[in-house]
Structure 1
Amino acid sequence: MDYENFSSGDYELPCEMNDTRQMELGIQVYVHSFICLFGLLGNLLVIITYAFYKKAKTMTDMYLLNMAIADVLFVLSLPLMIYNERHNWSMGTWACKIFRGMYNINLYSSMLLLACISTDRYIAIVQARRSFRMRYRTLIYSQIICSAVWLFSLALSVPSMVYNERYEDTHLGVKSEAVCYFRFDDNRMAQLVKILVPTTQITIGFFLPLLVMCFCYTCIIITLLRAKNFQKHKAVRVVLAVVVVFIACQMPYNITLLYHTVELFQTRECSSEKDVLKVLMITESLAYLHCCLNPVLYAFIGVKFRNHFCKILEDLWCLGKRYIYRRSSRVTSEVYISTRRSTEGSNNENGSSFTM
């Protein structure tokens, strides 16, 4: 189609997003690769610890285990999403729906489990007597709550799985690369879903956990400061670190997403649209980084968990040494046997020659 035949008053050409696309590819290659590597390593260590070294005995243990599973599923799906985005979603529409759905399920479940952890710590420290009476029913409660969190996250992710599709994006009849994005049959549904999905993500996936964390940890800090104990004051610093890291990682992305949602159906200049999309990409990567920090803040910062982690490293070191020892012993024995055979063979050859 010849763009020269269009007048600027009748049509507005779409924004040129080549520089934004190049920035997105760079973030995917370097930043997201780092997040996948360290997020997978840290959360797998948490799962291994609970599976082989420290059984889940309390509600917090169960929440941490489920949160690690959610983060592992997220970091495993992230490279596949990046691969499909760079190869025109070669896996098709079902991969588009599944990966977008997995992203939302893991987002909601991880954030809601953070709120559950905060509530459990509030009960354990501020409501200590009630916590002692509830101890014998904690695992049953935690399993029910975790199941409810996963089901609720699945329900919230249904619109993303239903309306996300793989299709060829076109501008004024010019075919471009395939994308995985929302696709609708009418404008009313498009406006509803494009506002409902990010609004739900902001409220349920950020502001609700933030309010729960702020309330619970404020009460925890007040309770700990009343107890004149050095260890309790160290716990206050840990609590503050948890809240500060959560706000630093999640708030910039959610504020940018809120601004983008409010201005979604407003006319904007290309430069403004590019700036918003660039900030959205950077803050989204910062939000992804939180899955790498979860194991450090909620698991390895504890003394017992650090001891289990050291035990894992010791066992891996022992297994490595045992493997090297067996391999070296096997090589040594094979060299000895081959040398002996060659020696015996040469002796037999010498004897035969002598007899002949």
Structure 2
Amino acid sequence: MDSYPVNATEDYDYNDSDTDYDLDYDPDGVVVPCNLNSNRGVGITINTYIYALICVFGLLGNVMVIVTYAFYKKAKSMTDVYLLNVAFADLIFVIALPLIIYNEHYDWHMGTVACKLLRGAYSINLYSSMLLLACISGDRYVAIVQARRSFGNRSRSLVYSRVICLNIWFFAVILSIPTVIYNQRVEEHGTFECTFKFDADDTSTARLMKVLLPSMQVSVGFFVPLLVMGFCYSSILVILLHTQSFQRHKAVRVVLAVVIVFVACHLPYNVVVLYHTAYLFKERQCETEQIILMTITVTRSLAYLHCCLNPILYAFIGVKFRNHMQKILVDLWCHGKKYLYTTRQTTSKQTSEVYVSAPCKSPEESNDAHQSSFTM
């Protein structure tokens, strides 16, 4: 089988309508192009089920984090501010996923505008969430390893964290601009896809972007946060292992879980993308390229799974957050019960029947320490 040069795009679909392929030969000697979309149906099926799970659990987890900070727990530390911003970043992507699923099934029926917005949403989520996770590891490093130097003005540290978050969001938007500009709805082998599109006479820009954007994604969106997290959490582990504390083993397990899950979710995808980019303009066999593209599809879904795990690893693994989550569930039950009680009471004025038991007692009517927290 002959080889052919392959051009790649930054994300999602690693092909391009402007690519000139060397040709394969069928058994009769007829020249035919290599079809990079031969496994497209399988990829869409895999993505549909995995993305659906990510949508459900990612939406629930990140909404719970946002509700907790909005109504139950004020952001009192830099890590709290970072966690809240991570939840917003992941929520943006989770909301975009159903639209991505729909458009991949129906040849990007929503057009080029949706293509640009959805690709841009993913890119912004990638850079912002990864850099914010690096900031969380840095804040934990300062709080544990540099504990003696970390005492300072709480309000000042909150101001610093908000400024850092604003800069990260701005940086993520800037890095995502090329993704928004060059992604378009184009026709590939009789189907429409959202992929990179360049002018036919602008080959220099095409080659630059097809190398630069995946390289930035791998370096800024993975390796830089990985280096920061590796240094910070390894230093934290050294301190914890020398600490005689009842909570030491639990803290060590949490740190290891954070690092292992991060690496397991993102390393396979970024390694495949890095390999694909390194051999971007070299000849490769058609079957090899098809295998690589399918591997990218599978490992990309694994990377997306991390947005579901962030709330568990960074928020709900703590006792306080779990208590707040229980309060949220109790309050939802009480407010729902109160609504049903009021509705049934109104509709049954002509009878003496009571269909629903009395609603939960209000904080004033109960000596319990729990309070309804749907007020700021």
Please tell me the TM-score bracket, short chain as reference. Answer: 0.7 to 0.9
Partner residue in 2 for 1:36: 55
Q: Post-superposition shift, 1:90?
A: 2.0
Q: Post-superposition shift, 1:11?
A: 4.8
1:90 aligned partner, one-letter code = H
SS class of match (1:243): helix
Distance 1:275 1:205 in 2: 24
Distance 1:100 1:130 in 2: 42
Counterpart check, 1:15 vs 2:38: no
What do residues 261-291 of structure 1 show as CA deviations (whole Å, max 9, x unaligned)? Answer: 1122222222211211111111111100000
Distance 1:279 1:120 in 2: 35
Superposition RMSD on alpha carbons, in Å? 1.9
Q: Which residue, out of 234, 248, 255, partners 1:232?
A: 248
Distance 2:155 2:235 in 1: 25
Aligned pairs for 1:255-334 within 5 A:
255-333=271-349
Which has the larger share of helix?
A: 1
Counterpart check, 1:140 vs 2:156: no
Name the count of aligned residue pairs: 326
**Residue 120 of structure 2 contacts residue 177 of structure 2 at CA under 8 Å; is this kept in 1?**
yes
SS class of match (1:157): helix
Partner residue in 2 for 1:343: none
Partner residue in 1 for 2:104: 85
What do residues 206-247 of structure 1 show as CA deviations (whole Å, max 9, x unaligned)? Answer: 000000001000111111122100113311110111000000
Q: Which residue, out of 183, 192, 205, partners 1:178?
A: 192
Q: Post-superposition shift, 1:12?
A: 4.2
What do residues 113-164 of structure 1 show as CA deviations (whole Å, max 9, x unaligned)? Answer: 0000000000011111221125341110011000000011111111101111
Using CA pairs below 8 Å that are at least 6 residues apart, which structure has the higher relative contact order? Answer: 2
Distance 2:123 2:24 in 1: 42
Counterpart check, 1:76 vs 2:95: yes
TM-score of the superposed pair, with normalisation by structure 2: 0.83
Task: Decide whether aligned partners of structure 1 residues 239 and 16 sit closer, same or farther in structure 2, where only a CA change above 3 A counts.
Answer: closer
Q: Post-superposition shift, 1:200?
A: 0.4
Distance 1:61 1:7 in 2: 56
Runs of 4+ aligned residues of structure 1 deviating over 4 Å after TM superposition are 6-12, 334-337
Task: Decide whether aligned partners of structure 1 residues 151 and 137 sit closer, same or farther in structure 2, where only a CA change above 3 A counts.
Answer: same
2:91 aligned partner, one-letter code = V
**Residue 36 of structure 2 contacts residue 290 of structure 2 at CA under 8 Å; is this kept in 1?**
no
Q: Which residue, out of 180, 193, 212, partners 1:196?
A: 212
TM-score of the superposed pair, with normalisation by structure 1: 0.87
The percentage of counterpart residues that share the same residue type is 56
Q: Which residue, out of 190, 203, 207, partners 2:223?
A: 207
Q: Post-superposition shift, 1:169?
A: 2.6
Counterpart check, 1:124 vs 2:143: yes
**Residue 107 of structure 2 contacts residue 191 of structure 2 at CA under 8 Å; is this kept in 1?**
yes
Q: Post-superposition shift, 1:304?
A: 1.0
Partner residue in 1 for 2:237: 221
SS class of match (2:185): strand
Distance 1:12 1:189 in 2: 28
1:96 aligned partner, one-letter code = C
Q: Which residue, out of 105, 118, 126, partners 1:107?
A: 126
Distance 1:279 1:246 in 2: 19
What do residues 270-321 of structure 1 show as CA deviations (whole Å, max 9, x unaligned)? Answer: 2211211111111111100000000000000011111111110111111122
2:37 aligned partner, one-letter code = M
SS class of match (2:34): coil
Q: What are structure 2's unaligned runs of at least 5 residues? A: 1-22, 354-376
Task: Decide whether aligned partners of structure 1 residues 304 and 85 sit closer, same or farther in structure 2, where only a CA change above 3 A counts.
Answer: same
Counterpart check, 1:251 vs 2:233: no
Higher mean alpha-carbon deviation, 314-323 vs 156-165, is at: 314-323
Q: Post-superposition shift, 1:333?
A: 2.4
Counterpart check, 1:156 vs 2:180: no
1:17 aligned partner, one-letter code = N
Distance 1:231 1:264 in 2: 49
Q: What are structure 1's unaligned runs of at least 5 residues? A: 1-5, 171-175, 338-356
Distance 1:297 1:21 in 2: 33
